[in-house]
Copies of this chain bind each other. A is one copy, B any other.
């Protein structure tokens, strides 16, 4: 009964907003408009520092840059939170303590980026040489100079690794705080800043940091500023994430590459063996054909189901935009599909294609699989389901290069590396008081009704915050949905950057009862 009341109250709140932008937000906006040039200049310098998590030299340079940003803004207690494991990327931390405040909000973003293959970036784009385009590359925008007079069209975009995922988040949070301080707006909550440096490498040492700095990191809620806004362009708040883990497959054939004429038809071809194995993993309707793959799934609550139904449909818009005319699971919408466990091929390679193709039978064929998990799935169990499926296809499964004895004893040999960087899905209840405060804060920044999503298709290691700190997490993303996150030509649309600053500021200005 109590639960029922909560639900009704939540809907009352959501539906009763007038969706008008507050005067406080308009004041912050004016400040931003007057300071776009310095905001962009700082952001470009930040993006120019390469930020792959295993590049420890540059990770240090990024962390130092963020500390400077914080010190410039008068943030207190600025420091690096290093994991126990030496030389792993530190968290950059700082705080703003407000006398008399009863609540504390921690703002999270990450400053590392996904690995890059510069050759795949459209020329003249480069991952770590930020460039301004007068629109979207897909719509044939061109590179333009950064304007001397500081006059930026909000449809322009900055292209660079980390532009949207997630240096854009770091920058939006620190610029939101700056605007509040510089305009003399009044904060009612303590603010903490927490910028991770290893998120794209699976947050392998985040748990060590959370455990080590447990007392420093107490809060009422974590605002996770990562990921894109809704594809409709509306702001969204997300209360959960899918989990994620990986499985890497390498099929072995001949020890040395063979001439496809002298041995073709006789020697096994690893690319064909891998193709047959991968093909066995999904049926023609996109359903994963691995035993018990969809078992363990915990269904949504009725409040969550209702929220899902209210998410604006973008399926047709997205198909048109992406140039596809069907979806992998016919009959299921985008929001339904991404709330199921998934199996996706991230990459597949054997031999060479294009100009480097030659008449050989390759020695190996490799594929990287990405498994997304929903609430109820255990990531290691999910990986094992894949391994068992591979065994059931007649493969001898090993975790190392095959020895000569293994090669002699087994016809189909595969190395399966079950990635150790996985984690489970996580969901925060939408009807907690702090959740409602966040919803109303974000709603104050826009005339559009904001989108509430029980779970993102993407993944963040949110379960760690619950495990080590017993903390609540809510995701408030800011990037444009077509930001090419995780791929070549990553970019951030300026209007999204500006909106993101306002969104973060409005949450900082929250007045919890």
A interface residues (Cβ-Cβ under 8 A, vs B): 114-117, 120, 138, 227-228, 241-242, 244, 248, 252-269, 271-272, 274-276, 278-282, 286, 320-329, 332-334, 337-338, 340, 342, 344-362, 365-368, 370, 372, 402, 404, 407-411, 456-459, 481-482, 484-489
Known pairs A260-B344, A265-B332, A279-B280 / 20 extra A-B pairs, C-beta < 8 Å: A114-B359, A115-B352, A138-B255, A255-B322, A256-B487, A258-B487, A259-B487, A266-B333, A271-B348, A272-B282, A275-B275, A275-B348, A324-B411, A345-B350, A346-B357, A346-B358, A348-B353, A352-B368, A353-B366, A354-B366
Kindly state the separation between the CA atoms of A32 and B322 in the bound complex, as whole angstroms.
66
A348 partner, pick from B268, B348, B408, B481, beta carbons under 8 A: B348
A265 partner, pick from B278, B342, B356, B488, beta carbons under 8 A: B342
In the complex, are the beta carbons of B360 and A351 less than 8 A apart? Answer: no
In the complex, are the beta carbons of A338 and B266 less than 8 A apart? Answer: yes
In the complex, are the beta carbons of A346 and B324 less than 8 A apart? Answer: no
Given A326-B411, A346-B352, A351-B347, also A337-B265 (CB < 8 A): yes
In the complex, are the beta carbons of A264 and B486 less than 8 A apart? Answer: no
In the complex, are the beta carbons of A253 and B324 less than 8 A apart? Answer: yes
Kindly state the separation between the CA atoms of A271 and B325 in the bound complex, as whole angstroms.
17
In the complex, are the beta carbons of A368 and B357 less than 8 A apart? Answer: yes
Q: List 26 A-B contacts (CB under 8 A).
A: A114-B358, A138-B255, A242-B261, A253-B324, A254-B322, A254-B323, A260-B370, A263-B334, A265-B337, A265-B372, A266-B334, A267-B322, A267-B328, A269-B328, A271-B345, A271-B347, A271-B348, A272-B281, A272-B282, A272-B345, A274-B348, A325-B408, A326-B411, A346-B357, A347-B362, A353-B368
* Copies of this chain assembled into the complex: 2
Determine the residue in chain B with the shortest Cβ distance to A459: B261
Residue among A267, A268, A367 with the highest chain B CB neighbour number at 10 A: A267
Kindly state the separation between the CA atoms of A261 and B458 in the bound complex, as whole angstroms.
4
- Measured CB to CB, the closest approach of chain B to A348, in angstroms, equals 5
- Measured CB to CB, the closest approach of chain B to A326, in angstroms, equals 4
Kindly state the separation between the CA atoms of A402 and B322 in the bound complex, as whole angstroms.
12
In the complex, are the beta carbons of B268 and A328 less than 8 A apart? Answer: yes
Residues of B within 8 Å of A332, CB to CB, are: 265-266
In the complex, are the beta carbons of A409 and B347 less than 8 A apart? Answer: no
Residues of B within 8 Å of A350, CB to CB, are: 345, 347-349
- Measured CB to CB, the closest approach of chain B to A395, in angstroms, equals 13
Residues of B within 8 Å of A227, CB to CB, are: 262
- Measured CB to CB, the closest approach of chain B to A200, in angstroms, equals 8
- Measured CB to CB, the closest approach of chain B to A26, in angstroms, equals 32
In the complex, are the beta carbons of A359 and B263 less than 8 A apart? Answer: no
- Measured CB to CB, the closest approach of chain B to A319, in angstroms, equals 8
Given A115-B356, A256-B484, A458-B262, also A320-B268 (CB < 8 A): no
A244 partner, pick from B261, B340, B362, B404, beta carbons under 8 A: B261
In the complex, are the beta carbons of A323 and B404 less than 8 A apart? Answer: yes
In the complex, are the beta carbons of B254 and A324 less than 8 A apart? Answer: yes
Residues of B within 8 Å of A347, CB to CB, are: 271, 350-353, 356-358, 362
